[in-house]
């Protein structure tokens, strides 16, 4: 079965990100296909490479990056949500003449069409709020 995941919740302020990560890990462990993980609204904050959680807590951003590297899964953040929250990759940093980027390079910045595509391509689109 082919799954797509949409994450709407910010890390550390809801259970959405951690639950989505556990679900994604279970999907790949069960040998299902994970088409895409799409981060929307506050969910884009999962790609913030400037987060520094306490040492005794899970670093969700790092956990997503590690998951993507091992599973070869695509992590996409909504460009409108990202820009609104100060989440810029290197290209957007140059475009808007900002001094620093905050989006981890493992995350792809793209449009809402990627979420629609994921819903069309996957057998199931699972959302985490």
Catalytic residues: 78
Closest residue by Cα to residue 39 from 108, 91, 97: 108
Alpha carbons 117 and 54: distance in angstroms, whole number: 36
């Amino acid at each position: 079965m082919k799954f797509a995941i949409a994450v709407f919740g910010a890390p550390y302020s809801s259970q959405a990100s951690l639950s989505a990560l556990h679900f994604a890990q279970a999907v790949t462990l069960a040998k299902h296909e994970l088409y895409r993980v799409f981060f929307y609204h506050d969910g884009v904050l999962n790609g913030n490479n400037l987060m520094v959680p306490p040492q005794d807590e899970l670093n969700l951003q790092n956990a997503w990056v590690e998951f993507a590297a091992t599973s070869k899964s695509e992590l996409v953040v909504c460009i409108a949500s990202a820009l609104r929250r100060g989440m810029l990759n290197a290209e957007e940093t140059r475009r808007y003449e900002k001094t620093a980027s905050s989006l981890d390079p493992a995350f792809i910045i793209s449009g809402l069409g990627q979420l629609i595509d994921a819903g069309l391509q996957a057998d199931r689109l699972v959302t985490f709020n």
